[in-house]
Chain A
Amino acid sequence: MIKTDILIIGAGPTGLFTVFEAGLLKLKCHLIDALPQPGGQCAEIYPKKPIYDIPAFPEVLAGDLVTNLMKQIEPFQPGFTLGERAETIEKLEDGTFVVTTHKGTKHNAPIVAIAGGLGSFEPRKPPIEGIESFEENGVEYFIKDPEIYRDKTVIIAGGGDSALDWSIFLTDVAKSVTLVHRRNEFRGALDSVEKVQELKNKGKIEVITPAEVIGVHGNGKIDRVSIERDGEIFQKQCDHFVPLFGLAPKLGPIAEWGLEIEKNAIKVDNALDYQTNIPGIYAIGDVNTYPGKLKLILCGFHEATLMCQSAYQRIFPDRKYVMKYTTVGGVEGFDGTKKEAPKAVVKSIN
Chain B
Amino acid sequence: MAQDIIIKIIDREGVTHEVLAPTDMNMNLMELVRAYELAPEGTIGICGGMAMCASCQCYVLSDHNLPEKNDDEEAMLAEAFNVKDNSRLGCQLHIHPELEGLTIELAPES
A118 interface contact, C-beta 8 A: yes
In angstroms, Cα B50 to Cα A83, docked, is 25
Q: How far is the CB of A44 from chain B (nearest CB, A)?
A: 10
Closest to A128 in B: B81
B24: CB under 8 A from chain A? no
Least Cβ–Cβ distance between A256 and chain B, in angstroms: 16
B43 pairs with A264, CB closer than 8 A? yes
Q: Are A127 and B40 in contact (CB under 8 A)?
A: no
B42 touches A45 (CB 8 A): no
Cβ contacts under 8 Å, B110 to chain A: 124, 127, 248
- Pair B78/A46 contact, Cβ less than 8 Å: no
B13 within 8 A of A: no
Closest to B108 in A: A127
B38 at the binding interface (Cβ < 8 Å): no
Instruction: Let me know if A249 and B46 touch, CB within 8 A.
Output: yes
A183 proximity list for chain B (CB < 8 A) = 74, 78
Judged by a CB distance under 8 angstroms, whether A338 is at the interface is no
**Is B81 within 8 A of A248, CB to CB?**
no
Which residue of the partner chain B has the closest CB to A127? B81
CA distance A203 to B100 in the complex (A): 52
* A187 nearest in chain B by CB position: B75
Interface centre among B75, B79, B110 (most CB of A within 10 A): B79
Q: How far is the CA of A158 from the CA of B55 in the complex (A)?
A: 17
* Secondary structure type dominating chain B contacts: loop
B75 to A: closest C-beta gap in Å? 4
| Chain B residue at minimal CB-CB distance from A124 | B110
- Give CA–CA (A127, B110) in the complex, Å: 8
A118 to B43, CA, bound (A): 9
Quick one: which of B57-110 are within 8 Å of A by CB? 71, 74-75, 78-79, 81-83, 108, 110
Interface check A314, CB cutoff 8 A: no
How far apart are the CA atoms of A187 and B79 in the complex, in Å?
Answer: 10
Question: How many CB-defined contacts (below 8 Å) exist between A and B?
Answer: 57
Q: Are B53 and A185 closer than 8 Å at their CB atoms?
A: no
**Range, interface on chain B:** 20 to 34
Residues of A within 8 A of B43 (CB): 264
Roughly how many angstroms separate A209 CA and B52 CA in the complex, as a whole number?
A: 21
Given A264-B40, A264-B42, A265-B42, does the pair A45, B47 have CB atoms closer than 8 Å?
Answer: yes
Chain B residue nearest in CB terms to A157: B79
* B50–A46 CB distance below 8 A: yes
A31 to chain B, nearest CB (A): 22
Alpha-carbon gap, A160 to B75, bound state (A)? 9
Instruction: Report the bound CA distance from A245 to B77 in whole Å.
Output: 11
User: A246 to B79, alpha carbons, bound, how many Å?
Assistant: 9
Residues A127 and B82 in contact, CB atoms below 8 Å apart: yes
List the B residue with the shortest CB-CB distance to A181: B78
Q: In whole Å, how far is A310's beta carbon from the nearest beta carbon of chain B?
A: 25
A185 to B72, CA, bound (A): 11
Q: Do residues A159 and B78 form an inter-chain contact, with CB atoms below 8 A? A: yes
Please tell me if the beta carbons of B50 and A245 are within 8 angstroms of each other in the complex. Answer: no
Most buried by A among B42, B46, B53: B42
30 pairs across A/B with beta carbons < 8 Å? A41-B47, A45-B50, A46-B48, A46-B52, A49-B50, A118-B42, A118-B46, A119-B42, A124-B81, A124-B110, A126-B81, A127-B108, A158-B79, A159-B78, A181-B78, A182-B78, A182-B83, A183-B74, A185-B74, A187-B75, A245-B81, A246-B53, A246-B79, A248-B46, A263-B40, A263-B41, A263-B42, A264-B42, A264-B43, A289-B41
Binding site for B on A (CB under 8 A): 41, 45-46, 49, 118-119, 124, 126-127, 158-160, 181-183, 185, 187, 245-246, 248-249, 251, 263-265, 289
